[in-house]
Structure formats: C-alpha cells, structure tokens
A = this chain, B = another copy of it.
Amino acid sequence: MEIKGFTFSAVEAAVKKPGRIDFALICSDVPAAVAAVFTTNKVKAAPVLLSMERVKSGYARAVVVNSGNANACTGVQGMTDALETCRAVAGLLNCHEDSVLVASTGVIGQPLPMERLRKAIPGLVHNLSRGGLPEIAGAIMTTDTFPKMETRVGKAGGKEYSIAGVAKGAGMIMPNMATMLSFIITDAAVDPLFLQDVFSRSVDISFNCISVDGDTSTNDTALIMANGLAGNPDIRPATAEAEAFEMLLRDVLLGLARQIIKDGEGATKFVEIEVTGAVSDGDAKKAAMAIANSLLVKTAFFGQDANWGRILAAAGYSGAEIDMNRTALFFDDVQMVRDGIFAGGDADARGTEVLKKNEFSVTVDLGVGTGKATVYTNDLSYDYVKINADYRT
C-alpha cells in the first residue's frame, strides 16, 4: 500500500548500542497539514517542547525520531541537540527547519549521542523510499516485542485516499498518554482546523483509554500529517466525508491502541473494562481507569482469579458515584455480582473459566445513571517487574 507523496527511512545510529535500527524519518513531498497531541506531564522532553511549538503553524514536511534515548531532563543541551537534528535534516531535504518535527523515546536523563546522530543523518535522508513505513514501526520500538502498524482506505470527492499509522508502546502507558509515540499519515486533503479536532477526539477514545502501568511519560507524542496528494477537495467538518474520515482514523488509532495493550510489558491478558450506569461518561471513565490501573486487579487477572471484590473496591475509591446496593459485575457474559453481592450459583467456577482466556471483558454497572466508558488494560505479571527492574542495565 502506498500513501501518496510520503517517503520513509530507518537506519542504525547506535543511540544506545550497535545492532539495531533506531533512527527514522518520515517525509512528505509537499507541506502537509499537521495535528498533534502531546504528553500532559509537566516534565516534557526537549523534542516535545520543540514539536509543540512547530505544529502551531499547522503544517510540516517531516518528522525525525530516535529510540533508545528520550532526550528528557537534558536541559539546554537537550534543546540544542533537538534543534540541530532538525536543522541538519532540513538542510538535506532543502526545506525550512521549522517544518521538521522531532520525537524521541528511551532512557531519561542522558544527553543524546549527537556525534553518532550527526554521522547517521546523511544516510537517513539519502535512504528515503516510498515503501518503508513498516521499518519506521520497527525503528521506534523500545521494549516493544512487535512493530505496530494499521492502514485503512477511504474515498472523498471521488478520490481514494489512505490512512496509515505506526506506534510504539510497552511501558509507562497511561492516558494523557503513555511512553508512546504514534505517527499517522494520510494522503487525504483535510482542512487543518478540522484535522486537529478530529485527531484530538480520536486520541481521546483510543490512546487515552489504555493503561499498562499508570505512569505518564515525558515524551508522548501522537501526530498526524495529511498531505492532500490523493487529490480530493479538503475534507471539511459536518459533512458525510468528514464522518467517514473520522471513522477510519478512529479505527486506525483504536487498532494501534489495542496492539499497544497486547504488547504491554509482560502482559499475558487483554482486558476490556466497560463501566455502565454511571452518573456521567466522565465518572464512568474515572471508575474504568481506576480498575484498569489497580495493581490488585491486574495481579488477579494474571493469577486468573475471579476476585471481583478487588474490582468493586477499585470502583469505590475512584471517586465515581456508586450505589453499592445496585451494582452489577460481569466477566464476559457471566454475572458475578447482582445488587452489590455475589450472584451465587456456579458463577465463581464459570467466571474463573472466563479469566483463563487470553482476552475477556469486565463490565461493571455502578447503578446510578446512564454514563458509560470503555478502556483497555492488561495484567501485571512477573515479567513486568523483570523488564522494568532491568530496563536501564
């Protein structure tokens, strides 16, 4: 699949250690409309601060990204390094340096190995080719175990267009957002203001609805570039084409979000947490995220233990309104709790069977309204601890 007018490159810069592709470039032949969502962490990495500024123009030509080093907590030097990287790429692409965005992921607090990046930049730009999006997905991995990519095809103004996206996840995965990078590209022509709207909304129900460990990183960046080379007239809000575009974009992001959860550090289970009967959708999300983040819930999932009490306890401390005498809880379609107490019968045995599956859903009804929310999480295993105890070394 080709996304018209985009080229890709990924090379080895030996950011952390030799032997892996860790430096990548996505480039549009023409200036592309750009929209982005960044980490809400007050400690923001230099590349985040720089890209936040640059997306304000609404247009970009390229994004350069490294894995292995987050360029976070690196002070003035970090910003100097981010600027220099963009400038060097822009020089070789023959575009204004302000139109090159930058992202980094990896260890916090160490200066970028600029000598190695400098040396790698000419090869990175020279290497640009039409088909290399899968290599980008590989190059941005850190503790990810597989590359994450989604593609969809749509139509607008009689022209076919494509949307493709890559992401990395693994740890520090929490709404707003995650140790997460995601780059989405489309050759559709999209009104720039609408692009930011639709992108923010789609991130909100995908990347902002997943949790691996409740930590929010310093480097989260999700961005979309739309270069219009499909030839359709600009997609504008409140049209059938806008709706179709939003559906496809949401699909791409949800697909990537699900892949991130499945590849959560040490994860053995993929769990959909649905909260219903809340006083508002916001309250429902609060309860769902508390459940998704609870260590006691996540270790019970790992242990395949139908311990629904921990789930109600997490809903109880989430801050969401709850009427204990009217709560219900299901594992898939097995009702475990009715009116706040154990549903009885063979629910325990049947619920335990559900928890033995690799994928299942937990539904909790708070019994106080019609608000609802769905989030995605996984279990907490020995391997999560192992991976994160050993990460730096």
Contact = CB atoms under 8 A, between A and B. Distances in A.
Given A43-B317, A216-B317, 4 more contacts: A73-B342, A215-B317, A295-B388, A302-B385
Given A41-B317, A43-B316, A390-B303, A294 B215 contact: yes
Contacts of A317: 40-43, 174, 215-216
Contacts of A312: 43, 73, 108-109, 218
B42 A309 contact: no
Contacts of A341: 73-75, 77, 109
A295 B213 contact: yes
Nearest to A77: B341
A181 interface: no
A325 interface: yes
A214 B75 contact: no
The listed residue with most B CB atoms (<10 A of its CB), out of A110, A389, A391, is A389
A217 interface: yes
B309 A73 contact: yes
A104 to B, nearest CB: 13
Number of copies: 2
Interface in A96-152: 107-110
Which bucket holds chain A's interface residue count?
35 or more
B385 A309 contact: no
Interface string A315-343: 11100111011000000000001011110
Nearest to A171: B296
A-B pairs with lowest CB-CB distance, top 10: A108-B309, A43-B316, A303-B389, A299-B388, A75-B341, A216-B317, A109-B309, A41-B316, A213-B295, A42-B316
Contact of A75 (B171, B339, B389): B339
A305 B108 contact: no
Nearest to A214: B295
A301 to B, nearest CB: 9
B217 A313 contact: yes
Contacts of A305: 389-393
